[in-house]
Amino acid sequence: MKRIEWNRLDADARRACLARPGAGDQSEVEAAVKRVFEQVRADGDTALRALTRRFDGAELAAFEVTPAEMAAAIATVPASLRAALAEARERLLAWHRAGMASEFEVDTAPGVRCGRLLRAIPRVGLYVPAGSAPLVSTALMLGVPAVLAGCDEIVLCTPPRADGSADPAVLAAAELCGVRRVFKLGGAQAIAAMAFGTESVPRCDKLFGPGNRYVTAAKQLAAMMAGGPAIDMPAGPSEVLVIADAGAPPVHVAADLLSQAEHGPDSQVVLLTDSAALVDAVEAEVRRQVAELPREAIATRALEFARLVKVDSLDEAFAISNEYAPEHLILALREPRAWLGQVSCAGSVFLGDFAPEGLGDYCSGTNHVLPTNGAARAWSGVSVASFQKSISVQEVSRAGLAAIGPCAVEIARAEGLEAHAQSVLRRLENVR
């Protein structure tokens, strides 16, 4: 872990200090993803079998999980985990329902009525990672809003295990959400399959889900293809930033940092505090706790990119945080809600000493599919609206055309678009 005195750094050193792991040259990743896309586009399922053998070590005759296979797998999931997934699903439903957009109509002028229609995206593709650990909760986080939105078809891809099976808990979460089509596919090849469509995998209109650098690059490449699918957001390696004051319990702060460090070696964790004593205490606590973790080796590698930053004031900490735009922002402060107005860029915010990031990952009700790598400056986390399209509608009467037509003509001619103006004028001739 790197200890840093923020106000001893110049502008270049500050940028370097908060650079994400792997934020440099991505050419090798992009080149590898392009090769995968070319293979899948050209050879479909044949390419998927070869790539699955190469990257996952699994031999698959068929990719889609059959109903019998799903039922048998779910039967092996402990009842306690199935109950926890059902409990988490209920809170996700409550939160997502409360935030759903609605259709509306409004008279913008006498005789001019404008409105908004909401329509579900017909076919969506969900990606649930299962590399070093199966992200069971991601199946809930994506499945719940997709079903609430009313998508006609939901396709879920998750990497196979070496024996060719899908993780049973991922299947249980998918089934709980009502997701019936699950494919044993991972990595960039799963994204390519959902982007192009193959003999087995349907082509999807929009792709969702987090992943490593290869998955993120694959989603971005898919979105750039002519006629390609949309994507939810750039969602790569996980990260957390903690803003803490002198009263924050070091044991909690250290645990929060490690909860993200264990995701993968390219995760990043950052502490901003105005207390030098807290930096000392958190550093010692991280070293103690990491040695107790089953994923100690992964977390230790991620801690090479950890930053323990001493700032002069909490105001300065919030300015740094907004520039960094973290995926997860924890306010380990005595009056956290009083500082919420200073937050402008973050994926999800956790207030106080009793709101660990782990609750948001699993069961508080908010969605954990969030923008990373600074994308929170412009992107939001997944919601029901992510799975919907908004379509505007206008209805105009004769009186309405007479009232606002001249306005349109004036603006059209200012733009030099006379045909636009004539489309209005030829109608105005019939209403005068």
389's tokens: 């399209």
| Domain contains 149 | yes
Query: pLDDT value at position 389?
Result: 97
| Domain contains 387 | no
Confirm if 59 and 53 have CB atoms less than 8 A apart: yes
| Domain contains 405 | yes
Same domain, 257 and 352: yes
Same domain, 185 and 253: no
Active-site entry in 175, 252, 262, 328: 328
Last residue of a domain, one of 183, 212, 232: 232
The CATH number assigned to the domain holding 412 equals: 1.20.5.1300
Active site includes 328? yes
368 annotated as belonging to a binding site for a ligand = no
Tell me: pLDDT of 108 over 80: yes
**Which among 369, 381, 382 has a CA at the least distance from the CA of 238?**
369
Same domain, 165 and 246: no
Same domain, 34 and 150: yes
429/406 Cα distance (integer angstroms):
12
Same domain, 212 and 242: no
Last residue of a domain, one of 211, 232, 253: 232
pLDDT band at 211 (very low <50, low <70, confident <90, very high): confident
**Which among 343, 96, 108 has a CA at the least distance from the CA of 241?**
343
260 annotated as belonging to a binding site for a ligand = yes
328 annotated as belonging to a binding site for a ligand = yes
| Domain contains 306 | yes
Which residues are registered as beta bridge partners of 269? 240
420 annotated as belonging to a binding site for a ligand = yes
127 annotated as belonging to a binding site for a ligand = yes
The CATH number assigned to the domain holding 363 equals: 3.40.50.1980
| Domain contains 200 | yes
Same domain, 178 and 244: no
The alpha-carbon radius of gyration of the chain (Å, integer) is 25
Same domain, 269 and 192: no
pLDDT band at 113 (very low <50, low <70, confident <90, very high): very high
Query: pLDDT value at position 24?
Result: 62
pLDDT band at 149 (very low <50, low <70, confident <90, very high): very high
Average pLDDT of 268-286? 98
Range of the domain at 418: 397-428
Tally of domains in the chain = 3
Same domain, 149 and 262: no
pLDDT digits (tens, 9 = 90+) for 26-45: 899 999 999 999 999 999 99
190/37 Cα distance (integer angstroms):
10
Last residue of a domain, one of 232, 263, 285: 232
Same domain, 331 and 225: no
Same domain, 141 and 156: yes
pLDDT digits (tens, 9 = 90+) for 310-340: 999 999 999 999 999 999 999 999 999 999 9
Tell me: pLDDT of 133 over 90: no
Kindly report which listed range (19-23, 57-61, 254-258, 303-307) carries the lowest average pLDDT score.
19-23
181/123 Cα distance (integer angstroms):
11
Kindly report which listed range (18-27, 45-54, 148-157, 174-183) carries the lowest average pLDDT score.
18-27
Active-site entry in 239, 262, 285, 327: 327
Query: pLDDT value at position 360?
Result: 96
Active site includes 368? no
25's tokens: 């040259």
423 annotated as belonging to a binding site for a ligand = no
Average pLDDT of 74-100? 98
| Domain contains 175 | yes
Same domain, 139 and 178: yes
